[in-house]
Structure 1
Amino acid sequence: MCEEAPWYFWRRVIRMPENPSFKDAHGFSPGHITGFFAPFYRTDVLRTGSYGAGVCIAKGAWAEVEIEEADQRQICVKIEGVDAEPKVSIYALQNLIPENMRVNARIKLDMPVSQGFGMSAAGTLSACIAVCKILKKRYSDALRCAHAAEVHFRTGLGDVAGIYAGGYEMRIKPGIPPYGIIDRILNLPDETELVLCVIGKELETKNVLGNPDAVESCIKAGKKCLRKLRAEPTVRNFFKLSFEFAIETGLASREIKEAIIELHKIPVPASMIMLGNSVFALVRNRNEKKRVKDVLSSYGSVTATHVWAGF
């Protein structure tokens, strides 16, 4: 499904590709992993977001969208393998679709939800991109609507901004561009992969963001980690600070900590994925990849992916 290269996603053009006869389109969005973060709220959802840092991954979400004229606006979204109502995607599409249009969207996710892989943001953004392609709307409209929906439902604060940046990123100023400011860690290691492992049950982002004590802890630790990363913007320091954040905030379970410590003994950079009961590790060759997989296979399901470098 949707095997065509998502070239239209990564072009920073003024408008999406135009074709007046288009009534269906595909959209793709990479996933996003957050290493550490500090929530930041404003009344304007476009200025709401998070300070922090993360990395885009090639495993993401694919959307296939069909649009036709109708008497009134109708939006139907189906996410493969997910029983929950896709309320985030529906909310975002409501802000893109005219009142006389009917939309059918089918979304396929490469990774599980509520495990920190940014699948809520990726699924919503992929559908928004496909709609913008059909309706000749701006790429920024897709970003804006996806981010607003994520903030509204508290399913994410920085994933859409991180996806916009690509690669390893630092969110210097919260919000979606042009309000948010995102920098990139440019000294990327050559020929590396990320090994991912889901260790525990789902961790709902909104449950953490709705806990005042947890939010205060994340703000304090997240801002401190960001200052340290900006002083030394390397991938290895990103992993080191992400693990410090996981420990300081108390978000890492005993099993998560044990798995990461075992990976550090190999040694490879590794940390907890925010917000999920999952870990990620950087591997540079086949030997490291095998050793990391051998360690993590006793904790949960394991997969590997590449960093999505973006533009």
Structure 2
Amino acid sequence: MTVGVAHVGGHVTLLFSIHDDEILPRRQGSRGAGLCLDAGVRVRAEATPAPAGQVSEGATPAPRAPSQPGSIEVSVSDRFGTPWPEGEAMYVMLIDDLRAVRRIPAATSWRLDVRLELPISQGFGMSAAGFLAAARAVLDANGTPDDRYAARAAHRMERLHRGGLGDVLALQAGGMALRRKPGAPNVGGAAEGAILEAPLLLVWQPDESRHTSAYIDHPGWKRAITEAGEHALGPLMEGPWTADRWSDLLKAAATFATSSGLEAESERAELLSSVRSALTDAGLDGAWTCRLCMLGVSAVVAPLNPAQASPDDVERLRAPLHALGLEASLCGLAVPGSEEE
């Protein structure tokens, strides 16, 4: 038995435009900007090769080992350690895909242990993080580590799963990510990551969730999102993408949320109002702000000036937000190559 372990943080999209008209999944994607998180998905993959054929002691050839596909066992648990069997199918699909393209032997048996550190369907890029972490862990356990191919496979699975359009591309860039060209990483897609440190507080309504496909497959929402996204992206595309563009990103995200109409949906409007009130009541509204996470019923509380921000400040928001029925998790920005394995 061989083992591979990988950890990939989630990703919060703050603004985007949809580019999914291409037939091939690797050509589909989005342009946009967002934040790569240091909390996400951890995967441990165990590979057990099929037994070798018997050694022949005479002229008769030894019998071959059975050729049937190896078994696949997947265990998924949420951030509280509670099993989540509904999440197993996507990882089985990934193994089947890697077998189909002959990246791993069909006869090898697999066991995957998947631990989620953030909630799903809240705009935190958890399916992308899960696919990418699992692809890296599986290829590593197979003795064929290949981060570039793992990213391509994860993007393909995201599209087949009708998940995010550009999360995997952003995760390859890291930090404060700007997706300049849509598509899979290393196959047409292009993104840049500006590296900086910033504490973030993710806030979400636990009784609400959204699947990306409900918006990107809806003609009206697709048009509104893409028009608003391209307009908000214009200023971000000009000049180099560095850490000092932080305030530009926050401004563009606010513009996108309003012009796309996403901010006006009642659940999101109520969430934003609650978080803003909590910031004001705590006396933090002069140094912190909040932006919607696309496309959950969630928001990220971010510092206006990351260099002067302390995580202790936003920790004070936990109690009042919890009293309002909201959940929160403190995290930071992920740096490319910093994931623990």
TM-score range with shorter-chain normalisation? Answer: 0.7 to 0.9
* Equivalent residue number for residue 256 of structure 2: 245
For 1:204-223, list aligned pairs within 5 A.
Answer: 204-223=211-230
The normalised TM-score by structure 2 is 0.78
Please, which of 277, 280, 296 is the counterpart of residue 300 of structure 2? 280
Q: Are the aligned partners of 1:263 and 1:269 in contact in 2 as well (CA < 8 Å)?
A: no
> Which position in structure 2 is the counterpart of 1:3?
none
- Is it true that 1:152 corresponds to 2:173 in the alignment? no
Deviation of the 1:76 alpha carbon: 2.5
The answer to whether the 8 Å contact 2:156/2:184 transfers is no
Corresponding residue of 1:39: 18
Identity %: 26
| Structure index of larger Rg | 2
- Residues 1:93 and 2:95 aligned together: yes
User: Per the alignment, do residues 251 and 82 of structure 1 end up closer, same or farther by CA in structure 2, a change over 3 Å counting?
Assistant: farther
Report SS of the residue matched to 2:184.
Answer: coil
Tell me the equivalent position of 1:24. Answer: 3
Q: Is the 8 A contact 2:174 2:194 kept in 1?
A: no
Equivalent residue runs for 1:5-84 within 5 Å: 23-41=2-20, 42-70=22-50, 71-80=68-77, 81-84=83-86
The AA in structure 1 aligned to 2:295 is: L
8 Å contact kept, 2:275–2:321: no
Report what 1:127 is aligned to: 134
Whole-angstrom CA distance in 1 between matches of 2:278 and 2:191: 29
Structure 1 distance, partners of 2:164, 2:255, is 21
Matched, 1:258 2:293: no
Q: Secondary structure at the match of 1:132?
A: helix
- For the structure 1 residues 52 and 295, does the alpha-carbon distance in structure 2 shift closer, same or farther, using more than 3 Å as the test? farther
CA distance in 2, matches of 1:291, 1:241: 27
CA distance in 2, matches of 1:185, 1:72: 43
Shift of 1:206: 1.6
Greater mean deviation of Cα atoms: 33-42 or 237-246: 237-246
Moved over 3 A (4+): 259-265, 290-297
Q: Distance in 2 between matches of 1:304 and 1:287?
A: 10
Unmatched tracts of structure 2, length 5 or more: 51-67, 78-82, 99-103, 304-308
Give the equivalent residue in structure 2 for 1:143: 151
TM-score by length of 1: 0.85
Residues 287 and 98 of structure 1: CA distance in aligned 2, closer, same or farther (over 3 Å): closer
Output the CA distance in 1 between the equivalents of 2:151 and 2:275: 33
In structure 1, C-alpha distance between the alignment counterparts of 2:162 and 2:43, rounded to whole Å: 22
SS of residue paired to 2:138: helix
Match of 1:171 in 2: 179
CA drift at 1:170:
0.5
1:142: Cα distance to partner? Answer: 1.0
- The question of whether the paired residues in 1 share the 8 Å contact of 2:72 and 2:109 is answered with yes
Q: Distance in 1 between matches of 2:216 and 2:276?
A: 27
Instruction: Count how many residue pairs are aligned between Structure 1 and Structure 2.
Output: 287
Structure 1 residues 286, 61: CA separation in 2 closer, same or farther (over 3 Å shift)? closer
2:55 match? none
Asked if 1:300 corresponds to 2:326, the answer is yes
Cα distance in 1 between the residues matched to 2:39 and 2:311: 20
What's the offset of the Cα at 1:68? 1.4
Question: What is the Cα deviation at residue 294 of structure 1?
Answer: 5.5
CA shift, 1:261, in A, is: 4.1
* 1:289 equivalenced with 2:314 (yes/no): yes
Please tell me the root mean square deviation across aligned C-alpha atoms, in Å: 2.1
Q: Structure 1: give runs of 5+ residues left out of the alignment.
A: 1-21
1:103 to 103, 110, 132: 110
**CA–CA distance in structure 2, aligned partners of residues 238 and 133 of structure 1:** 36
